[in-house]
Each structure stands twice: as C-alpha cells, then as structure tokens.
Structure 1
Amino acid sequence: MNAILKERIGERVSALKISWRRASLEAGLEAGFIQDIITGRSQHPGEDAVASLATVLKCSPSYLTGQSDDLANPAGAYGATALLSDAAQRPDAVMALRIVDELLAAGHVEAARVAVRRALKVIAVE
C-alpha cells in the first residue's frame, strides 16, 4: 500500500498544483504529513488522516490506498442514489450538509471541517 499511496498522493498533488505542505494543512494534519509518507518516516498513516487527505486531494481514500482505481467512487461505498435516499430520510444530515456548504462558500474551510467531523461523530454513535 505504501508505494501506491506515495505514488497517488504525488499524482493528485501535481494534478491540483498544490504543495505537500498546503495539502497536509488543508486536511487538518501536520505540515509535514505528506513529506513523512513520501520519505518513509510514516509507514502506516491512520484511516482518518488518509480520508481527510483524500478530501483535499479530491479523490476517495480507497483510490489513495490502491483499493480502487476510480478517483471518485470508493470501493464498496454507497452509490449516489443510495446516498440521496438516505439523506431524504435524515433531515439532520441534510441540514449539516447545508451548513457545511454555506461555510465553504464563505471560505470558512476549518469551520466546515469541524462541522463535518461533528456530524460524523453523531452518525457513528447512532
């Protein structure tokens, strides 16, 4: 996984024309997170860190780790139809998404990230 992870992180950073440092920081991680992966100092990054990084790199965590070759659709994830169906049954999730959308539109990336993490914690508890 590590060789694929290194390759795909490099590929996505290049495609988005952002630095390793910027991608790491936007993902809410230490500034040297990607550098540590690329240089081999970090052998097994956590799933949450990879998921945060995938969001910034505009791909799925399963793409980064080599479990899928599809940039957007993580292996074994809900299809878009199932996600919309679930959202219709969860007005609280819809409200959380609207709040995140407004925060992002206003340029408040960190606040949006916090809102997403809180919503995910609530969902995990249920």
Structure 2
Amino acid sequence: MNAILKERIRERVSALKISWRRASLEAGLEAGFIQDIITGRSQHPGEDAVASLATVLKCSSAYLTGQSDDLASAAGAHGATAVPSDAAQRPDAVMALRIVDELLAAGHIEAARVAVRRALKAIAVE
C-alpha cells in the first residue's frame, strides 16, 4: 500500500499544482505529513489522516490507498445516488460530498465533519 499511496499522493498534488506542505496543512495535518510519507518516515498513516488528505487532494481515500483505481469509486460502492447533470459545473463540491459519504459510511464521523467544514469554507471564499 505504501508505494501506491506515495505514487498517488504525488500524482494528485501535481495535478492540483499544490505543494506537499500546503496539501498537508489544508488537510489539518502537520506541515511535513506528506513529506514523511514520501520519505518513508511515516509507514502507516492513520485512516482519518488519509481521509482528510483525500479531501484536499479531491479524490477518495480508497483511491489514495490503492483499494480503487477510480478517484471517487468508494462513494459509489457505498450506495451514493447519481449526481445531477448540473453538478458537472461543480466537480469539487460533488467530490467533497462523495468523500463525506464515504467517510460516514466507514464510521469516520470526525473526518466527515472536517471535510464538510473545508467544503463550506471553500464555497464561502467563492
């Protein structure tokens, strides 16, 4: 899992054009969280930390950990309903809702709260 996690974190950070530090901080984690994963100092990051990071990296935690090859597949696996066609204009909001759904289905209530707060903050900025 660790090699996949490293690869997918690099991929998402690059795709979003943000730094490791910024992604870590936006996820509510220590500034060096991603660096520790990439360098091998952190061998087994917690599920809640990975879920928070996934929210910032706009993907599912299942994608980051290699449990899925689809960025948002885990939300669908938990019975998420179809996304309305006008949601295509707000893929960030849709992804945030899917991640929250995934977190709630897995029993990660606090991580879901964090994801909701971040999504609301992002919407307020716009």
**Matches of 2:108 and 2:99 in 1, distance apart?**
11
Q: TM-score, normalised by structure 1?
A: 0.65
The answer to which structure, 1 or 2, has the higher relative contact order (CA under 8 A, 6+ apart) is 2
Q: TM-score, normalised by structure 2?
A: 0.65
Q: Please tell me whether Structure 1 or Structure 2 has the larger radius of gyration of its CA atoms.
A: 1
**Matches of 2:38 and 2:72 in 1, distance apart?**
23
Structure 2 residue ranges without an equivalent (≥5): none
Q: 1:68 to 1:94 in 2, by over 3 A?
A: closer
Coordinate RMSD, CA, aligned = 10.2
Deviation at 1:24, TM superposition (A): 0.2
**Matches of 1:6 and 1:112 in 2, distance apart?**
23
Q: 1:31 to 1:104 in 2, by over 3 A?
A: farther
List structure 1 runs of 4+ shifted beyond 3 angstroms.
82-126
Identity %: 92
Matched, 1:98 2:98: yes
Q: Is the 8 A contact 2:62 2:68 kept in 1?
A: yes
Q: 1:20 to 1:70 in 2, by over 3 A?
A: same
Matched, 1:72 2:79: no
Structure 1 residue ranges without an equivalent (≥5): none
Q: 1:35 to 1:101 in 2, by over 3 A?
A: same
**Matches of 1:111 and 1:90 in 2, distance apart?**
22
